[in-house]
Structure 1
């Protein structure tokens, strides 16, 4: 096998690409919800066709294939922990990072017709689609691996390495384009959903100081452009410490998964404690399964968050420590300080229209 030399191997270039894609997503999101709909219609077809191409072409062209027994039953513990069960749970970080973002469809659906139905349906469809797509991709990937140790050691671009070894450099570049376009569409959706959530908080007075500055809409499409730039600025600031430590990036990933899952669970907790019997029901309703599903979801989130705070390798050193718990503590302190110093004075509860502000 020929050696692979990455074209981009420095943090500065990677951060630069991150910022470029982020600003491009801001520019596209500024076009409004209408163009977001166009992008979503395109990306559904793009992702479906791209997935089929990869899962068919890559295993077919792979020079060798591992056995089905290895693909479906092999378990390797390289963490240093003696407990294989703990190792299995630690491996859920990747699955946890993939199965998030359910709320984006609901937030974007606020600008569509029949949002109370299309939002929940979108969440269900996205979860089922993600699971099905993930299983197919995992099986195709495992049957296409040529050298597992090489992929584990090549931490910079293991996916590109997998594509090159299984096919050739030209097809590998094509596969990466398929993934980059899909990821960019995802970035646009996440940024748009986050801007709408942040705008709602500014409208309700939960963001200070000067909430009236942040909830001001721009252009004919009435887009929260100021908040889009605010979110982009925060993302750029947050990424900068990676110049000093790669451990920081791992901590950011773990922290993000934990915080997002906690945000999903908090409404369930509030429902069980305060609104168990008189919860208003919409046109989309889980019926008698609602309460058991809520309880299971809360239990899973609590368990999952603990797992994600455990270091992924043993013995633990400063370079391998999972600093997510420390970062979560900092987020909690910041949030509480933000609330008591300003938010509690300006927040008046959810508002339905801007007219209520005046």
Structure 2
């Protein structure tokens, strides 16, 4: 049973962990981050009402959790590594207006999840929320599928980020040429995999060993991103070696001749670019048990980050389009990474171009660390309720590092194994990013659908209730989810071959089949879901709000 699974920690381990948390969380006899209104204590008490003991240190403030959310999206980096999709499927219109459209949709998704998270702020995230919001007779299987989708989405998005960094690095190296048109780095499958392997190990080591310093790294990433983006746009617009495009081209050019799809559908296929960069929206929920006031801080961070990222994305993309080289040439690139070619054509110098790639490469590594951290938390939370085979190993928190180290290692091994797909298909990155977007979108949709189905009763208890606006956001989120699942299973372009096929459909179908089969083989009998009842949580939530109000008065 779930609560039995959670209780498998030995008394000695629990005691050691309590001492460790007190040592980390206190300073001069006072708990760090403990505000006068008792926000940290209230969060721990609400978590206890949800059926869990607080095991992780609540060290993150609102800005720090917002910075981490920004880092996991890493808009300049995310938009860089996936720019190939809209280049093939529509060009400037797909790039700019696709980004604006998807950002507005994801803002609705963030608002919808924020409402629910303000009532159920736990590392279990959408999986826990789905259980609490679903009808009692279906909540076990619904939360099971949602939880597996959330875990798979976290792992595959992290994989896509690290693999994208490897591919981008290879493309950056090839701005240096051994002869005209021939880069210095062959980019063989084994070479890219080894780079990906090294990046994955680095991200996991940093996340595991440097957990207490990660908020500082996230803060650094904000300034680093600003400096890098400013350097890139100033240099490419000032030099513009091959000239500049006019505004009508930048905001109105739509060319689908490279995709093979009908024009309308081609535009939508190209939206994977924007959807990938915003797919991490709900991953930050997994950090709720490390945030001082998760019921208010996490919803604000999710919504605020989307607004900030939308603006940052426009600032980054528009200058690139003003120096856009021939679209057909970019679509034909074997690397699938057009940004290095765009910047080199504008700068005219391999060395100068590579210098401008460094901010993006560093941001890619920081993004990988953030996603690694979030993926480990959601894996740990799902194992905590006994839903992952061998959960007794994966539900432990390392008392010295204050991280779920075993769950992190499980996530890492799965990523490294899935990365082997690249040896069989050069479109593997498309599959990784597609599966990540699809599964995360599905997991976000489940609690939203459940909330709408029961009349949005529970979200009215939250501190982030949006009223009629929330209902509108819910329906936008649901309709987007219905579009995403078939859309991002499509290949980037036609005709389809074995090497260019989008294997996201295969991986997604496999995930659905395996998770459902495992539920009926093992989960139906053994899995009980979170160790609490919805009514208990709502009562604790009301008590927490009353206590908070009295303390303020």
Question: TM-score if structure 2 supplies the norm length?
Answer: 0.60
2:219 counterpart (11, 33, 41): 41
Which one of the candidate residues 13, 24, 46 is aligned to 2:191?
A: 13
Task: Give 1:143's match in structure 2, choosing from 322, 328, 331.
Answer: 322
Query: Which residue is 1:119 aligned to?
Result: 298
| 215-224 or 67-76, larger mean C-alpha shift | 215-224
CA contact (8 A) 2:233 2:319 kept: yes
**2:423 aligned with 1:243:** yes
Moved more, 227-236 or 274-283: 274-283
Tell me if structure 1 keeps the 8 A contact 2:258–2:328.
Answer: no
Q: Report the counterpart of residue 261 of structure 1 in structure 2.
A: 441
Matched with 1:355 is none
Where in structure 2 are the equivalents of 1:92-131 lying within 5 Å?
92-131=271-310
Partner residue, 1:175:
356
8 A contact 2:426–2:500 mirrored in 1: no
Q: Does 1:187 align with 2:368?
A: yes
Q: Does 1:323 align with 2:323?
A: no
d(CA) in 1 for partners of 2:310 and 2:404? 33
Identify the match of residue 86 of structure 1 among 265, 277, 292.
Answer: 265
Residue number in structure 1 paired with 2:379: 198
Distance 1:26 1:36 in 2: 12
Residues 434, 489 of structure 2: 8 Å contact kept:
yes
The superposition leaves residues 83-119 of structure 1 with CA deviations (integer Å, 9 ceiling, x where unpaired) of 3111111111111111110123332243021111111
Let me know the Cα RMSD of the aligned residues. 2.1
Tell me which of the two structures has the higher relative contact order, counting C-alpha pairs closer than 8 angstroms and 6 or more residues apart: 2
Unaligned runs of 5+ in 2: 1-176, 533-553
Instruction: Note the residue ranges of structure 1 that are not aligned, 5 or more in a row.
Output: 353-358
Q: Which residue of 1 aligns with 2:398?
A: 218
Choose 341-350 or 230-239, whichever is displaced more: 341-350
Supply the distance in 1 between the matched residues of 2:334 and 2:528 (Cα, whole angstroms): 48
Give the conservation status (yes or no) of the 8 Å contact 2:431–2:504.
Answer: yes
Bigger drift between 212-221 and 51-60 goes to 212-221
**SS of residue paired to 1:246:** coil
Residues 165 and 307 (structure 1), Cα distance of their counterparts in 2 relative to 1, 3 Å cut:
same
| Alpha-carbon distance, 1:317 to partner | 4.0
CA drift of 1:279 comes to 3.8
CA distance in 1, matches of 2:367, 2:389: 29
Distance (whole Å) between structure 1 residues aligned to residue 207 and residue 421 of structure 2:
27
Q: Does 1:273 align with 2:453?
A: yes
Q: 1:356 corresponds to which residue? A: none
Correspondence for 2:208:
30
Tell me what 1:60 maps to.
Answer: 238
Cα distance change, pair 80–128 in 1 and its aligned pair in 2 (3 A): closer
Residues 4 and 161 in structure 1, CA contact (< 8 A), matched pair in contact too: no
Count of residues in correspondence between the two structures: 351
Following TM superposition, by how much is the alpha carbon of 1:32 offset from its aligned partner in structure 2, in angstroms? 5.3
2:253 counterpart of 1:74: yes
The structural deviation recorded for 1:47 is 1.0
